[in-house]
Amino acid sequence: MHLQKTVRGFPRENSESALPVCRYFFYTVCMINPESNVPALPESEQDKMTREMERKAEFALGQLSIPVGKIMEKLTSLLESGEIELIVGDDASGRIPTAIFREIFRMAYKEKGFAAPKIIYIAGSKFLEGEEKKEKKEKIIKYLERVKKEMKKTSDLPMERALVVTDLVVTGVSLDPVMEALHEMGVQIKAVASISVKSNEEEIRELEERWSAPLFFGLDHSPAVYASDALSGVIKKPNDLFAAPFVRPGVVGRFGETGNQKIINKTRELGNALAEEAYQNWKEAHPKKNV
Q: What is the pLDDT of residues 52-92, one digit of tens each?
A: 889 999 999 999 999 999 999 999 999 999 999 999 999 99
Within 10 angstroms of residue 38's Cβ, the number of other Cβ atoms is: 14
Instruction: Say what the pLDDT of residue 75 is.
Output: 98
Instruction: Say what the pLDDT of residue 227 is.
Output: 86
Instruction: Say what the pLDDT of residue 253 is.
Output: 59
Q: What percent of the chain shows pLDDT beyond 90?
A: 68
Q: What is the pLDDT of residues 106-126, one digit of tens each?
A: 999 999 999 999 999 999 998
pLDDT confidence tier of residue 288, bands split at 50, 70 and 90: low
pLDDT confidence tier of residue 239, bands split at 50, 70 and 90: very high
Instruction: Say what the pLDDT of residue 28 is.
Output: 38
pLDDT, mean over the chain:
85
Instruction: Say what the pLDDT of residue 2 is.
Output: 36
Instruction: Say what the pLDDT of residue 85 is.
Output: 98
Q: Is the Cβ–Cβ distance between 251 and 42 less than 8 Å?
A: no
Instruction: Say what the pLDDT of residue 229 is.
Output: 84
Q: What is the pLDDT of residues 121-147, one digit of tens each?
A: 999 998 999 999 999 999 999 999 999
Edge to edge, what strands does the sheet with 188-197 contain?
118-123, 86-91, 161-169, 188-197, 215-219
pLDDT (average), residues 190-214: 97
Give the SS3 label for residue 218.
strand
Handedness of CA 247, 253, 259, 265 (dihedral sign): negative
Domain parsing of the chain, residue ranges = 2-31, 33-290
Q: What percent of the chain shows pLDDT beyond 70?
A: 81
Instruction: Say what the pLDDT of residue 245 is.
Output: 85
pLDDT confidence tier of residue 30, bands split at 50, 70 and 90: very low
Three-point CA angle 196, 202, 207, nearest 5°: 60
pLDDT confidence tier of residue 14, bands split at 50, 70 and 90: very low
| Residue 244 β-bridge partners | 235
Q: Is the Cβ–Cβ distance between 270 and 61 less than 8 Å?
A: yes
pLDDT (average), residues 215-229: 94
Instruction: Say what the pLDDT of residue 139 is.
Output: 97
pLDDT confidence tier of residue 172, bands split at 50, 70 and 90: very high
Topology annotation, domain 33-290:
Rossmann fold (3.40.50)
Burial of 7 (0-12, 13-18, 19+ CB in 10 A): middle
Q: Cα(95)–Cα(235) distance, rounded to whole angstroms?
A: 10
pLDDT (average), residues 228-233: 88
Is 265 a residue whose pLDDT tops 80?
A: yes
Lowest mean per-residue pLDDT among 12-26, 80-94, 177-191, 241-255: 12-26
